[in-house]
Amino acid sequence: MFYELTVRGHIRIPPRLLEGDIKEAIIKNLNDTFDQYISQEIGIVVDVSEVLEVGEGIIIPGDGAAYYDTTFKLVTFRPEMQEIILGKITEIADFGAFINMGPIDGMIHISQTMDDFVSFAKSGELQGKESKRGLKVNDKCRARIVAISYKDLSNPKIGLTMRQPQLGALQWIEEDLKKSEKAEKVEKKK
């Protein structure tokens, strides 16, 4: 899920940037600091959206840089267990598929792609034996987050499933809805 957080901290501005506009120097420093920043508490920082307030600066002896008490906003993506996401398949492998959720990719193990025996086809797609459904690169899908690991902060792992009703490739969901509507119409006629 995406969040907008208001954060307050002392931002270090090196002496070479003190000549120009302080607010621009703070924004540059914040963007450098939070570029590709990941933490378990706040998630993945997507953007520093706004600097709200810049307080008085102080200089620490021996450093030469100024530190400004600053309040700013961060946009973050923090995946949550059981959250349903919409994404696009970016890669298919013999063990599953990778789905882009925005700032990060998640992995759907082959056993979690559909309620069917699934095999990796030579065409580079995952194929269901009974359903004849295929999953390929660029398919838009709906999936549920079932595992989150921050063991390696530089590369968090997100596990997903599509083996539940209303999950999977969007075309599969549409097909299932049409089938259930037809079944309801037949049932009403009886």
Sorted by where each begins, the domain ranges of the chain are 2-77, 84-182
CA angle, corner 159, sides to 41 and 150, nearest 5?
30
Structure tokens at 165: 């009703």
**pLDDT per residue rounded down to tens, the chain (190 residues):** 999 999 999 999 988 888 888 888 999 899 999 998 999 999 999 999 999 999 988 988 888 889 999 999 999 999 999 999 999 999 999 899 999 998 999 999 999 999 899 999 888 899 999 988 999 999 999 999 999 999 998 889 999 999 999 999 999 999 888 888 888 877 777 6
**pLDDT score recorded for residue 61:** 84
Q: Specify the CATH number of the domain 2-77.
A: 3.30.1490.120
**pLDDT score recorded for residue 59:** 87
DSSP 110: G
Sheet containing 43-59: order of strands = 2-13, 66-77, 43-59, 38-39
**pLDDT score recorded for residue 190:** 64
- Residue ranges of E strands in the chain: 2-13, 38-39, 43-59, 66-77, 84-93, 96-100, 105-109, 118-120, 126-128, 134-135, 140-149, 157-161, 168-169
Structure tokens at 93: 């492998």
CATH topology of domain 84-182: OB fold (Dihydrolipoamide Acetyltransferase, E2P) (2.40.50)
